[in-house]
A and B are shown apart, each in its own frame.
Chain A
Amino acid sequence: MDKTINIKLKIWRQKGPKYQGAFKDYSLDGVSVDTSFLEMLDILNETLINKGEEPVVFDHDCREGICGMCSLYVNGHPHGPDEDVTTCQLHMRKFKDGETITVEPWRSAGFPVIRDLMVDRRAFDKIIQAGGYVSVNTGGVPDANAIAIPKPIADEAMDAASCIGCGACVAACKNGSAMLFLSAKVSQLALLPQGKVEAATRAKNMVAKMDELGFGACTNTGACEVECPKSISISNIARLNREFLKAKFND
């Protein structure tokens, strides 16, 4: 028999972007500690639907920690109290019997609430569209060894590329800054020869888009790095600053 816990939930309910939201209390008994956090919300929603109430709206997709769709600010932490995992990988064994769990949406001017716990993160797509890519003419595929890249650099680019764009960095930041996201997206390309060609325009355009969309400025508190489910390092932010300043001074 599984170990089960009884929990109390304090969940943010908001009908739409223009509506005033408020916390609503729920209690859920006999939750198996082996259920994931999102499965727990599924169970809650099932009971709500059976009672004829509106289910809680939340974002989710792959449920294996790689798509970046799930969000949720659980007990004061983006993606909950567990370290280096997304909300979908958070399990109920991280909570105590009788505990009150507060669930809030990402709160930032750049991410307006769509409904309940779901926020609009299209701002990140717009930032990527501003330059987070490499322009290529797809023709014959060149040999992978044609361009040699030192292993440490390849590793660092790969680490930056592990950013899933979930927005936890913005949610954690007291300035609502998107610099960790942006720095990862700039670094993954700036470190590699293929990405260097467009490095200057990329840094300038993406930073301009980030500022335009109303994200805040970085004050190096490092909260983003601590809360990032993929452990993206703030050393990437230094690289972004470097890339941006270099590009501007070369103009």
Chain B
Amino acid sequence: MSWLLNSSIGRKLIMSVSGFFLVFFLIFHATMNMVAVFSEDAYNTICGLLGANWYAVAGTAVLGGFVAIHFIYALLLTLQNRKARGNANYAVSVRPSGVEWASQNMFVLGIIIVGFMLLHFSQFWYKMMFTELMGHHEVALGTSTVSPKDGAEFVKFYFSHLWVVVAYLIWYVALWFHLSHGIWSAFQTIGTSGKIWLSRWKVIGNIFATVVMLAFAFVTIYFYARSVIDPSTVAMYY
């Protein structure tokens, strides 16, 4: 199986498969977020079920592994591709019509996404799973303390800040662009695409990216709007 690491198509397969895995995680995450809109209790049940249990920790480790693989191979392939391109740049270069902007900027988009992920982890994962792993059962949130299992409180607190909402929305836009190219590209790499399915995967990829990102954006905006309409729900944190 050394071809997987040594051949250009093998490395692309690694990008494709790890990308697919992360897409499946996004479906799970978006669905879980939508639950919070309908019932905070149900959302907290899911948070409690995951918590710092061994399977949640193992899942997080696997997920982190896939992010690392996807990122490391993106870096590796980008460097190799730059080398293949050579040092001489064209004096005039035009992006031909029909070439998506996202397709030529996947690495930059990836860096933006990872950057916001660090913000997200510092706000949620670090204060939830990590706190529990450290053996604490209370964590400071604004001027109050809550249980690290109380996911809904974290959502309400952070999404009551306008800058957090704006930052997350920028994140979703970057993710949308990344997915709008990434999904059909992943299908192309595993070879499931053909003359007809090439266009179909593009449409499916765009619809999927739009639906998932709208779900994330809806939850973010919903909780911000709630904090504005009824400030009492987050008053204890200020």
A220 contacts B195, C-beta separation under 8 Å:
no
Count contacts on B: residues with CB < 8 A to the other chain: 45
Residues of A within 8 A of B89 (CB): 107
B86 contacts A245, C-beta separation under 8 Å:
no
A239 contacts B191, C-beta separation under 8 Å:
yes
A107 contacts B90, C-beta separation under 8 Å:
yes
Q: Which secondary structure dominates where chain A touches chain B?
A: mixed
Known contacts: A76-B93, A177-B84. The answer to whether A217 contacts B194 by CB under 8 A is no
Chain A residue at minimal CB-CB distance from B88: A107
A4 to B46, CA, bound (A): 75
Does B120 interact with chain A (Cβ within 8 Å)? no
A215 contacts B190, C-beta separation under 8 Å:
no
Cross-interface CB contact of A216 among B85, B92, B188, B194, cutoff 8 Å: B85
Residue interface bits B87-124, CB-to-A below 8 A is 1, else 0 = 01111111111111001101000000000000000000
Known contacts: A207-B7, A221-B99, A222-B99. The answer to whether A235 contacts B84 by CB under 8 A is no
B96 contacts A102, C-beta separation under 8 Å:
no
A226 to B104, CA, bound (A): 14
Chain A residue at minimal CB-CB distance from B189: A241
Does B181 interact with chain A (Cβ within 8 Å)? yes
A235 to B202, CA, bound (A): 13
Does A10 interact with chain B (Cβ within 8 Å)? yes
Cross-interface CB contact of B103 among A156, A216, A221, A235, cutoff 8 Å: A221
B11 contacts A217, C-beta separation under 8 Å:
yes
Residue interface bits A208-222, CB-to-B below 8 A is 1, else 0 = 101100111111111
A248 to B10, CA, bound (A): 9
Residue interface bits A234-245, CB-to-B below 8 A is 1, else 0 = 110111111111
Residues of B within 8 A of A233 (CB): 195, 198
Q: How far is the CB of B235 from chain A (nearest CB, A)?
A: 49
A241 contacts B10, C-beta separation under 8 Å:
no
A235 contacts B12, C-beta separation under 8 Å:
no
A220 to B84, CA, bound (A): 16
A215 contacts B84, C-beta separation under 8 Å:
yes
Residues of B within 8 A of A238 (CB): 188, 191-194, 198
Residues of A within 8 A of B214 (CB): none
Known contacts: A221-B104, A234-B198. The answer to whether A174 contacts B9 by CB under 8 A is no
Known contacts: A102-B91, A109-B85, A241-B188. The answer to whether A219 contacts B103 by CB under 8 A is yes
8 Å CB interface, B116-152 against A: none
Among B8, B98, B185, B193, max chain A CB count under 10 A is at: B8
Cross-interface CB contact of A207 among B8, B98, B184, cutoff 8 Å: B8
Residues of B within 8 A of A76 (CB): 90, 92-94
B86 contacts A108, C-beta separation under 8 Å:
yes
Q: How far is the CB of B77 from chain A (nearest CB, A)?
A: 5
A75 to B195, CA, bound (A): 30
Residues of B within 8 A of A244 (CB): 7, 9
A210 to B95, CA, bound (A): 25
A10 to B92, CA, bound (A): 11
A80 to B203, CA, bound (A): 31
A76 to B184, CA, bound (A): 27
8 Å CB interface, A159-201 against B: 172-177
Q: How far is the CB of B185 from chain A (nearest CB, A)?
A: 4
Residues of A within 8 A of B10 (CB): 248
Which residues on B are within 8 Å of A, measured CB to CB?
Answer: 3, 6-13, 77, 80-86, 88-100, 103-104, 106, 181, 184-185, 188-195, 198
- 5 residue pairs, one from A and one from B, having the closest CB atoms: A242-B191, A216-B84, A175-B81, A76-B94, A176-B84
5 further interface pairs, Cβ-Cβ under 8 Å (given A76-B94, A175-B82, A218-B8):
A217-B12, A223-B99, A233-B198, A241-B188, A248-B10
